[in-house]
Amino acid sequence: MISETDTGDEPSDGWFPESVAANYDDPGGANAPEVVTPAVDVLEDLADGPVLEFAVGTGRIAIPLAARGVPVSGIELSRAMAARIADKPGGAAVDVTIGDMTETRVDGEFSLVFLVFNTIGNVTTQDGQVDVFRNAAAHLRPGGLFLVEVGLPALRRLPPGQDIVPFAMAPGYVGFDQYDVVTQEFTSNHVTVTPDGQGRFRRIPFRYVWPAELDLMARIAGMRLKHRWADWDRSEFTAESTKHVSVWERGS
């Protein structure tokens, strides 16, 4: 079993250190064009001037958006993740600041701030998530937009007395979430076993947050809900939705 301390990762890179960044851009999954392109289409449509991505990662979304002529800046906690951006074609167009999206400020006034791929949940306290909304609003011009893409917790799949929901079971891999429905904290757990019997266990902490709670966070930060879609295709958000793409507008 390999523990996180054996990897040589830099602790200040948080949950996305070098050992994660090394494979983050592997083809398929979240990097597939059919996943990336619909998100970039919506973001390009909402942008009306410079945009800022919180937790920009390796530029999965920021770089193709910049390639369409949108001026893109980013804030990112992990130097290992951010280092990939400059090495990619078109990455030089993305202006990256290393910092924490709950408090780091970058110069400029933006038409759109966005935070995708469930990353609001990487901030594991309610106060911290409110700070993300406040920081987004502080970067927006009046009338500017804040967009969040985040999954909904699978609490309807929790029978009484159970706190674990499996989400993947494949040869050599088991994935499950473990919920604390009191604190709204949960962990995503990944067990990987190679054919030679070597194993790796990664547990990543999150905090889930309900759409209505996000709307209150937005109001605390001076923003109001403008759109809530079930996905990037702008389909209707319903009781059966498993995620949402929500957009709030900053007041004047």
**Which parts of the chain are beta strand (E)?**
51-54, 72-76, 94-98, 110-115, 140-151, 164-170, 173-180, 185-193, 199-207, 223-229, 243-250
Name the minimum Å distance from CB 61 to ligand SAM.
5
Q: Work out which of 4, 48, 100, 213 binds ligand SAM, going by CB under 6 A.
A: 100
CA quadruple 64, 69, 70, 73: dihedral, nearest 10 = 70
Determine, following the binding rule CB under 6 A, whether residue 55 of this chain makes contact with ligand SAM: yes
Q: At what angle do helices 126-139 and 211-220 cross, to 10 degrees?
A: 50
In the complex with ligand SAM, which residue's Cβ is closer, 81 or 140?
81
Interface with ligand SAM (CB under 6 A), residue from 106, 117, 188, 226: 117
How far apart, in whole angstroms, are the C-alpha atoms of residue 57 and residue 79? Answer: 9
Minimum Å distance from CB 83 to ligand SAM? 11
Could you say whether residue 129 binds ligand SAM (CB under 6 A)? no
Between 22 and 198, CB nearer to ligand SAM: 22
Distance (Å, whole) CA 156 – CA 135 = 32
Query: What's the closest the beta carbon of residue 36 comes to ligand SAM, in angstroms?
Result: 9
Residue count, binding to ligand SAM (CB under 6 A): 20
- CA–CA separation, 250 vs 146, rounded Å? 8
Q: By CB under 6 A, which span of 40-48, 95-103, 155-163, 223-231 interacts with ligand SAM? A: 95-103
Give yes or no for a contact between 163 and 157, defined as CB atoms under 8 angstroms apart: no
Q: Which residues contribute to the site for ligand SAM (CB under 6 A)?
A: 14, 16, 55-57, 60-61, 75-78, 81, 100-102, 116-117, 119, 122-123
